[in-house]
Amino acid sequence: MTSSATVRDAGSGDLEAIVHLLNALLATTTYEYTEVPHTVEGRSLWFERQVERGFPVLVAEADGDVVGFASYGDFRDSITRAGFRYTVEHTVHVDERWWATGIATLLMEALVERARGSGVHVMIGAIDASNVGSLAFHERLGFVEVGRLPEAGRKFDRWCDLVLVQRSIGTDSVTPPC
């Protein structure tokens, strides 16, 4: 694990670095089911919504640069479907040069603590089945596979399978199903 990295709340000045991280593998992988690059303008709107809703956007800094970010937001729509208000979907991106250095773990640990402090009970990840590194990473962090959606996405003229992983992080007892 790297000792030189720090995790902090992102500011609007970090959006260019966040966009760079989001776009880094967009043209070469199916990790995200879009071929349209993210923009600072688009991410600015997203960042404003995150702040308004109280959803964290965290960045990891190492050697003076933003080398990763993590965030969570609604799983489905917890405003119109209030039953989902204790469940969030997260994302984590780390600069490829910093893979396997502990940056992603630092980000996720901070994100889970933030979620737990906000009363979140379950954190979900939606991962392309070809992203075996991310699936293994999430398993190491206690996420379990709870579903596979065959051919749920399409990119590069082929169908992509989506894997849903989940981790319970709430401290309250589990109640029987609704």
Kindly list the structural domains of the chain, giving each domain's residue range(s) and its CATH number in brackets, ordered by start. Answer: 6-168 (3.40.630.30)
pLDDT over 60 at 16, yes or no: yes
**7: helix, strand or coil:** strand
pLDDT digits (tens, 9 = 90+) for 158-169: 999 999 999 999
Overall size of the chain counted in residues: 178
For residue range 115-157, what is the model confidence (pLDDT) as tens digits?
999 999 999 999 999 999 999 999 999 999 999 999 999 999 9
Sequence-separated (6 or more) residues with CB below 8 Å from residue 65: 17
pLDDT tens for each residue of 55-83: 999 999 999 999 999 999 999 999 999 99
Runs of H (alpha helix) within 54-131: 103-117
Inter-residue contact 87 to 50 (CB < 8 Å): no
Q: Please give the Cα distance from 45 to 121 (Å, whole number).
A: 27
Q: What integer best gives the mean pLDDT of the chain?
A: 94
Kindly report the CA angle at 30 between 76 and 34, in degrees rounded to 5? 60
- Place 172 in a pLDDT band, splitting at 50, 70 and 90: low
Distance CA 150, CA 127 (A): 12
What are residue 102's phi and psi, to 5 degrees? 100, -5
| pTM of the model as a whole | 0.92
